[in-house]
Amino acid sequence: MIPGDWPLKSQDCDLIGFLSSIFDHQLTVEENSKIEYNLAKMEEFNTELEHNELQSAYLIIREETDCKVCHTKLGHKKIRIYPHGMAFHMRCAKNPSECPITKQRFDIDAILSSNMNDLGDL
Ligand SMILES: [Zn+2]
């Protein structure tokens, strides 16, 4: 029985104290390492995701390939690679959905509308 006139705040404090005593003392080593393992897994997964996103945005290459826009070596700079296989410096290819040389478009809208045109021709 909890007396009705107990202030709610002190109950909260007791709850927090109770919970923290569990975390501090009552988890076994095994339980702790399980939690750590899962956290590490999550971290790994997030890093992998981030890595993939970065890779799709740009790659760093060490090829002696010329950038077709400024005609200097791609070298160690950040480059952008387009789906049709051409690569340019990030600063030379500012629009990720249009090749600066062939003007080929890679954004979803262009692909959709070109499909629409194909259908129209039929
Ligand atoms: Zn360039």
Handedness of CA 18, 24, 28, 32 (dihedral sign): positive
Q: 61-122 is classed in which CATH architecture? A: 2-Layer Sandwich (3.30)
Q: Give the distance (Å) from ligand 1 centre to CA of residue 71.
A: 6
Q: Tell me the per-residue pLDDT of 7-50, one tens digit each, with 9 for 90 and over.
A: 555 555 566 666 666 556 556 667 777 777 777 777 777 776 66
The three-state secondary structure class of 62 is coil
Q: Give the distance (Å) from ligand 1 centre to CA of residue 74.
A: 7
Q: Tell me the per-residue pLDDT of 99-108, one tens digit each, with 9 for 90 and over.
A: 999 998 887 6
pTM reported for the whole predicted model: 0.40
Would you say 94 and 84 are in contact if contact means Cβ atoms under 8 Å apart? no
> Residues whose CB is under 5 A from ligand 1 (ion)?
67, 69-70, 89, 92
d(CA 102, CA 19): 63
Q: Give the distance (Å) from ligand 1 centre to CA of residue 68.
A: 7
DSSP 8-state code for residue 20 = H
Residue type, 105: R
